[in-house]
Amino acid sequence: MAQQWFRFTNPDERTMLIEEPHAHELLSANAWHLRGRDRDLLIDCGLGVTALTPMLREHFDREPVLVLTHAHLDHMGSAHEFTEVWAHPLEQVGNPAAGSLHGPILAAELGLNEPLPPLLLTALPHAGYQPAAYRVQPATVTRALTDGDVVDLGDRTLIVLHLPGHSPGSIALFDPADGTLFSGDVIYDGGLLDSLPGSDPEEYARSLRRLRDLPVRVIHAGHGPSFDRDRLHRLIDNYLQA
């Protein structure tokens, strides 16, 4: 059983990284909490294996607006807990795929060929937890985000980039003032998934070419460690040349 289901760390003073270290690496996504003057933002929200909002209340004095980079289970699992949920209209937030914590079931749902372990958790969130009962809960989108929209935190603005390919409505958030990109699953330091239901490799390539031209300084991704622009270009070029 896990002592703490979520891990909170501070990459800088206005950013909190929230991880689920006991999820299999395929399902272990990054959620990013951004402190703003007028509102706080949470970018993605984990699997929903256990409630996230009570943990957030231990760290922060107000509920953030949840922005979903896309509607895969490891990014939107806790979305139903939030009042404000913003996402691209092409993502099935209100009718998500059921998902599963069992490797063979999830592999079949996602069309993955790689063998996955029977259970995609390395610990349980609490005694008596039933992984077989896991389903992704639908959530209600309260604001549709499309390309070029501005997400205003009062003292910080983020630009919405619609970058389809991994999923039809995948978005990233870009802070032009300091060059930070929150990329979701558009790009991360690992093998990119472009053959899931709803994926489109040609759109993916177009999205990555667009990203390559952006004046990005640091990338906080949907999975794995953060990285710089040189690494971004290396990852994009590796994909485009494959």
Residues at the site binding Zn ion, with contacts judged by CB under 5 A:
72, 185
Name the minimum Å distance from CB 156 to Zn ion.
25
Per DSSP bridges, beta strands 7-12 and 15-19 are antiparallel
Q: Smaller CB distance to Zn ion: residue 188 or 227?
A: 188
C-alpha dihedral sign at 128, 129, 133, 137: positive
Per DSSP bridges, beta strands 171-175 and 180-184 are antiparallel
- Residue pair 204/192 in contact by the 8 Å Cβ criterion: yes
Q: Smaller CB distance to Zn ion: residue 40 or 91?
A: 91
Q: Smaller CB distance to Zn ion: residue 36 or 164?
A: 164
- Residue pair 216/210 in contact by the 8 Å Cβ criterion: no
Q: Smaller CB distance to Zn ion: residue 19 or 152?
A: 19
Name the minimum Å distance from CB 68 to Zn ion.
10
Helix H or strand E encompassing 106: helix 103-110
Name the minimum Å distance from CB 72 to Zn ion.
4
Name the minimum Å distance from CB 21 to Zn ion.
18
Helix H or strand E encompassing 204: helix 201-212
Q: Smaller CB distance to Zn ion: residue 72 or 220?
A: 72
Other residues' Cβ atoms within 10 Å of the Cβ of residue 92: 18
Helix H or strand E encompassing 32: strand 31-34
Give the span between the Cα atoms of 12 and 10, in whole angstroms.
5
Nearest residue to Zn ion, using CB? 72
Name the minimum Å distance from CB 208 to Zn ion.
15
Q: Smaller CB distance to Zn ion: residue 50 or 69?
A: 69
Name the minimum Å distance from CB 127 to Zn ion.
30
Tokens 């409630």, located at residue: 51
**Which of 171, 163, 178, 145 lies closest to 210, judged by CA?**
163
